[in-house]
Structure 1
């Protein structure tokens, strides 16, 4: 099968031309290594998952760099963050751009180490699993339910790995290895229960106390677990938008998954037909649409600038895309038949949010139109909102 082109490639090329180091962050199996090795095919390659390289890097940095010849790709650099100080010394001496391509799948400790050692020396890009636009450009075109069931992991599309095996393996590997390493979880079954509870609350305002009670752990533990899940690209938060429209606004974030297919797996969905019957289909669809827009931002090297709006009376707009001083309000509906009521919250919001631009409804139908200044588009085109 031909390699699927990643839309982030042009930004990757630009960053390598102007920075001595490019750091690519993203979930495990999102395609970071494939992208780096194919785009920088003449670079040497070091994988810190390899025990031999790991031990050498951990125990003798000078010996490690005696065998590492630049330009080089160093995979999973978060495993030995101590390397970053030495990399700083090397790039300051060599004064050449594009010398190091670093990848990492855990951002908490890595971002802290980068800010201390590599400030001003590295560009940071975020690579998530395939976007709908990337898959469409490669000839993969599926329905809403099929996308939500199978997700976007490259291994499924490049190796035709069965969905049930892919997510079972991903889930088990993450819980049994990564989480044990990061958290030293004593009761693995409780953490598994917690992940499934989170999947059942996609798109809901997070309630730490309720999650703690339902899982059977402390609120402090829930807070710590969410932090690690966020840092390791399993979940992300959508923060509420504030613009002094009213003092009575909801202030807690919502939780979404970086991979809708994993969320469907955790909910026990076993085929595309079950998706449309699942009571959370609207939440899953909302997750996918927000994620597609986030992928479009990351592909351009932009920081996440997505929010939601809700006041204390329950009035809500699903998504706010901040673009400088203007915002794009977005309503997300999983229905496939257009209804003029889809835009009523957008009209109300735009009455008091005068910095609104291009209010848009995203739904699963094929009819695309604009009426009374509000656009209605198919979900496969929602990434275009960032263009």
Structure 2
């Protein structure tokens, strides 16, 4: 049974801020959540992809003045970026009359125009929440189901993909999702990009899941310039489809890697781009280990993004930590292994000595929790998420 923990997060944000922006890729469940909130609160819901709803906002101040006593939900807000200046005036007028919080819930499928426009017009009046695909804490039952976690890894966290009646139907959803982004959504947010070129780049990033970003090498494979590759990667990052994980920086007297690592954020999209149809095909594929690494990282960051800064650690001498979390209780080092019998590599051990984290974990595919060495603990993904979640309370 799905349990979207973001629902109360959004309600709490509406209680403390005049406007809340809920951003996330298409098909992640933003509209479903918004409609649930609308039913609970009697909110007005407008879908700005519909011409009729956009027409109602020809004069936003006039139309919204009649609804100042209720929450107004504006879906696909990037379709009407000009409205942000009007919202600022309405929020300020409402505050003068004592209507402070919970005025607007804005939904957007990307961070680009949404962040830029609202940053210009709604500073101090808006709170941002990113809605990610499902994570293991939202799909696991009680007791936790390893089968559900494996299905989530294979199919990814988009609800329609995860809940599909078969692996084949799930893969069909993800292939259509990719096609829709390439042919319809990308042209909305940036300059015209050849869909074939962007799909090849997206696929190359999936093949190189978790690798260091090398724009020149990618450019050579696509017959375009390195700056163009960088701009395309920027777009995929802004569309919340790709993550750039930045390297850890500290003055510790070591030569540190300076390039970011790049992950296609949803594991199901990785598998669709690489034509991996089922668990058997995934188990034998060269990307399996790095796919699981990216899957674990996305699950972890969904829990800690509000209170910890993520990075990775790598030196030219080979010391490496997959994920470093800089949070309120110091550094946490996380190594990720797709194994039932995890071991500590020399590079991880050296990296621990370099940065001296407060806690160190090796996440593995099992369920038991046990010490590997003094100060280093093996732990399953779901127990780690529970422990990290407690740190942010």
Q: TM-score, normalised by structure 2?
A: 0.90
CA contact (8 A) 2:370 2:379 kept: yes
Write the distance in 2 (CA, Å) between the matches of 1:345 and 1:312: 11
Distance across 1 between alignment mates of 2:348 and 2:191 = 45
- 1:216 counterpart residue number: 223
- The worse-fitting range, judged by mean Cα deviation, of 179-188 and 105-114 is 179-188
Partner of 1:359: helix, strand, or coil?
Answer: strand
Shift of 1:63: 5.7
Alignment of 1:283-298 (within 5 A): 283-298=290-305
In structure 2, C-alpha distance between the alignment counterparts of 1:66 and 1:91, rounded to whole Å: 11
For residues 110-259 of structure 1, the aligned pairs below 5 Å read: 110-137=114-141, 141-142=146-147, 145-157=150-162, 160=165, 162-185=169-192, 187-259=194-266
CA RMSD of the aligned region, Å?
Answer: 2.2
- Matches of 1:145 and 1:217, distance apart in 2: 37
CA contact 2:320–2:348 (8 Å) conserved in 1:
no
Residues 271-306 of structure 1 show CA distances to partners (whole Å, capped at 9, x for unaligned) of 1111111111111011000000111125xxx16611
SS in 2 for 1:217: coil
Aligned residue number for residue 377 of structure 2: 375
Q: Note the residue ranges of structure 1 that are not aligned, 5 or more in a row.
A: none
Q: CA deviation at 1:216?
A: 1.5
Unaligned runs of 5+ in 2: none
Instruction: Map Cα deviations across residues 110-132 of structure 1 (whole Å, 9 max, x no partner).
Output: 11111111111111111101111
Q: SS at 1:250's partner residue?
A: coil
Q: Cα–Cα, structure 1 residues 12 and 247, in superposed 2: closer, same or farther, change >3 Å?
A: same
CA–CA separation in structure 2 for the residues paired with 1:305 and 1:85: 32
Partner of 2:88: 88
Q: What does residue 358 of structure 1 align with? A: 359
> Which has the higher relative contact order, 1 or 2, with Cα contacts under 8 A spaced 6 or more apart?
1
Q: Is the 8 A contact 1:88 1:118 kept in 2?
A: yes
Larger mean CA deviation between 356-365 and 138-147 belongs to 138-147
1:335 matched residue in structure 2: 339
In structure 2, C-alpha distance between the alignment counterparts of 1:22 and 1:204, rounded to whole Å? 34
Partner of 1:263: 270
1:314 Cα deviation from its structure 2 partner: 2.3
Matched length:
378
Partners of 1:241 and 1:137 in 2: CA distance: 35
For residue 61 of structure 1, report the CA deviation from its aligned partner.
Answer: 3.8
